[in-house]
Amino acid sequence: MKRILLILILQNFAAGKAYCQTFTVDDLVTLASSPSKNIDRFMNKKGFVLYKRKLDSDTMEASFNAKIRAGKMNIMPERSIDVYLRNDLKYFTLHTSSLNEYLDGQRKLLKSGFFYDDKKDVSKEPSMVFQKENITIQATSGVQDGLPQYTFKLKAKKIPDSVVYADDLLQFDSHEFLVSFFGAQNVKKDMYYFTEKELKNCSVLFSGTRRQAVFVWGDENNLNHLSYILVSNVLPTAGAEKNNPLTGNNEWQFRNGVRAGMAIKDLLKINELDFDIYGNESELAFMVKPGESGKIDFKQTTVMLSCDCDGNKMFNQHVVSALDIAKANIPMHVYDVIIYRSNH
């Protein structure tokens, strides 16, 4: 009889522990790397039950609530987990009412080597971004229905299978995501000369090689939210000043056929229509005027040209016809190319 009673006590204790298990940021990261088919099992093991689920052709949404243990001993914080899955993207959101769990979660992210804006005091900011390779976690504190609410929202992006064209680089929307594909040894933090006197934090891929490219970020403190990518033989960065210039042209090629060093005649062949270039009377001299006429969208792809044509009167105007330049056999070539993310 005593043996049976002991077994029942141990079973109840084990069940109680299952209901009282915590769900940490580490569990969130583990969940993000788990196969989709194992999510339900993982959540049940951690003491959560499915609350609702929605399935579409290419997405899945689900919410899990912590199991509630009946009785007056149930003083655990309120927790829930939201899941959103898509072919190329995963979101896992942890909600908790515990400040201690929230602060402990941030400490764990720092200890695990997540990159963050170190100019901010993590313990005092209502919202912080933590990044590591293809994972971004937004930590947020606030009030909901008069009660404190703390959230860790994890986004895991699918790492691309391959990168062929310069345009393929546009999918990398953060420094850490670049690292996840190309490796930390090939992606360096640098300072970009936005103007002659203004420097911005940037990332440089394959610095000092014929595959170099500069990533300029909308959020330069967190090194994310891509603004544009510059492909050039000579990079306007602080780090590039220490390196010798390239002996050949940058090898990145764009899907539309544009590449560094290309002659203006070849640029005309690709576009299949004439286009304008800003002349010396413009502050944007030697840049192709933005427009969508022809095969190249010069609004999404900014092309800067170089030319050894000092004193040529043809350029003493606001804009010059590319066709006229080609007919005059003026040696003009592609120097810089800037690409932007599509607004669509």
Count of Cβ atoms closer than 10 Å to residue 319 Cβ: 15
Residue 14 confidence (pLDDT): 39
User: What is the C-alpha separation between 40 and 90, in angstroms, rounded?
Assistant: 15
Distance CA 98, CA 84 (A): 23
Averaged pLDDT, groups of 10, the chain, 344 residues long: 38 41 89 92 94 92 86 67 94 95 96 95 93 97 90 96 96 97 97 90 95 96 96 91 75 95 96 96 95 91 91 92 96 96 64
What pLDDT is recorded for position 3?
A: 44
Contact by Cβ (8 Å): 205, 250: no
Predicted confidence at residue 244, as pLDDT, reads 63
At 311, list the tokens. Answer: 């004193």
Distance CA 228, CA 202 (A): 11
End-to-end CA distance of the chain: 72
For residue 76, the model assigns a pLDDT of 62
Residue 61 confidence (pLDDT): 96
**What's the CA gap between 24 and 150, in Å, rounded?**
12
Q: What is the DSSP letter of 265?
A: H
Residue 300's pLDDT is 93
pLDDT at 344: 38
- What's this model's pTM, rounded to 2 decimal places? 0.86
Closest C-alpha to 174, from 342, 341, 298:
341
Residue 187 in tokens: 């992606």
pLDDT at res. 242: 76
- Tell me the two tokens of residue 324: 């006229």
Beta strands in the chain (DSSP E): 48-55, 59-66, 79-86, 89-96, 127-132, 135-144, 147-157, 187-193, 199-205, 213-219, 224-232, 276-278, 301-307, 319-321, 332-340
Axis-axis angle for helices 25-32, 99-111 (nearest 10): 60
Q: Give the dihedral of Cα atoms 52, 56, 60, 62; nearest 10 deg.
A: -10
Burial 250-278 (b: 16+ CB within 10 A, else e): bbbbbebebbbebebebbbeebeeebbbb
